[in-house]
Amino acid sequence: MERNAERGVDWVHLPVLATVARLLCRELTLQNEYLLLENRTLKSKIPGRLRFTDEERRCLSEAALAMGRSLMKEVVSIVRPETILAWQRRLERRKWDYSQRRNGGPGRPRTPEDIEALVCRLARENAWGYQRIRGELLKLGVSGSSHPFRHEQPAARAASLLRLLQRTSSASGDR
């Protein structure tokens, strides 16, 4: 007996522990069965479909998936198990779609209208090319590429330069 105590195994109390564990397991099983019945009863009293927020869907799917699919099919009663799996797939897709990085449509951001007006005015009043206009804009403290104006037709370029110059000159006059 003393050798068993030295090893840390107390064989005398093992049947008592097993009995307590069985009782606790039985108690938890009864609680789960009651909660399942209660959920089914409450769900039958609610007319129409239940609506869930994304956070509720996320919590339900995490808890259901932690159980495993076989137990989930037995336990989940508020929605079908396939619905929970679909929620989980949708939430995963949404998590990795990088939509928070997108700030607008595709392509290069538009040139601010005031800069566009200034460029149009400079082009109309002068016979400058886009590199000279870009240099003049840099002197005014307007930074940016000359690319948006490089391929415009002369009339369109003049109109857009005018709009840009008017806005810039009015903005610089306020200083």
Q: Per this entry, what is the length of the chain? A: 175
Cβ atoms within 10 A of the Cβ of 121, count? Answer: 23
Helices (H), 46-150: 54-67, 69-75, 81-95, 113-125, 130-139, 147-150
d(CA 124, CA 155): 8
Per-residue pLDDT 10s for the chain (175 aa) are 455 555 566 666 677 777 777 777 888 888 888 888 888 888 888 888 888 898 899 988 888 888 888 888 888 888 888 999 999 999 888 877 777 666 666 777 777 888 788 788 888 888 888 788 888 878 877 766 555 555 444 555 556 666 666 666 665 554 4
The first and second tokens of residue 69, run together, are 């699919």
Query: Kind and range of the H or E element at 33?
Result: helix 14-45
pTM: 0.42
